Structure 1
């Protein structure tokens, strides 16, 4: 398979991320964008917890999904876009930390479907703690005016 030139993927990712209202709502920000890998970080916020005070699994899943989706966005052609079609999250440890890091990486690029894996970490004093992982599939969208960048 020929390698696709993704063009200036960093600018495209940043522009697209800035339009994601939900990421803004949870206080998430892009902290690293490189070919086939994206990192998103967010601070702990009591409003995003479940009944035991841990970061809600839905927020963890959303952070992982966004990181993997944007990692996929870095390997596609500039006029295409990405939609997640499936993911599975493994929650390994309670979401307890001062900040959270969501890292998405491309496992298998493709011409129609891209497979990505991600890891979520809780950050506090001391080493980062792995709290969740994800494996997901993203579909490349071409030629649709309602699904762009």
Structure 2
């Protein structure tokens, strides 16, 4: 497999994340970026809950999707981009906490398709609690100026 130089992926990811209206609306922040792994955190907000007061599954999905997508960004060349083409989420426990952590990690790098796994945690007074897991496939997009970062 050819090794791709991702260049300064930290700056590229920070710039891309800052342009995401959805993440801003959720109050999410990029807290860790390393080759093959990204973490995003957000505070609890009652506006993001479902009818029982738990963090809405769609919000959990958005956090995991972004974390996994940006983990894939750490492996691609600067001119390329990433689009999620598929994901599956297992919701394991209610989204109840003061803050939430979404961690995306690369499971299988590739030149066209990258597979990532994500974990969502509720943070509060006790130990972090695993609330969801995700497996997703990301497609590397090349030659599309309208999708370049």
TM-score by length of 2: 0.99
Q: Give the Cα–Cα distance (whole angstroms) in 2 for the partners of residues 78 and 122 of structure 1.
A: 33
Match of 1:146, SS state, is helix
Q: What stretches of structure 2 of length at least 5 have no aligned partner?
A: none
Q: Give the Cα–Cα distance (whole angstroms) in 2 for the partners of residues 58 and 45 of structure 1.
A: 14
Deviation of residue 146 (structure 1)?
Answer: 1.3
Paired residues in the alignment total: 149
Counterpart position of 1:32: 32
Counterpart position of 2:111: 111
In the alignment, is residue 95 of structure 1 matched against residue 98 of structure 2? no
- Cα-to-partner distance string for 1:88-138 (whole Å, 9 max, x where unaligned): 000000000000000000000001000000000000011000000000000
Counterpart position of 2:86: 86
Matches within 5 A, 1:1-149: 1-149=1-149
Q: Give the Cα–Cα distance (whole angstroms) in 1 for the partners of residues 61 and 34 of structure 2.
A: 21
Q: What stretches of structure 1 of length at least 5 have no aligned partner?
A: none
Match of 1:143, SS state, is coil
Q: Runs (4+) of structure 1 moved beyond 4 Å?
A: none
Q: Give the Cα–Cα distance (whole angstroms) in 2 for the partners of residues 112 and 127 of structure 1.
A: 37
Deviation of residue 148 (structure 1)?
Answer: 1.4
Deviation of residue 36 (structure 1)?
Answer: 0.4
Match of 1:134, SS state, is strand
Alpha-carbon RMSD across the aligned residues, in angstroms, is 0.4
TM-score by length of 1: 0.99
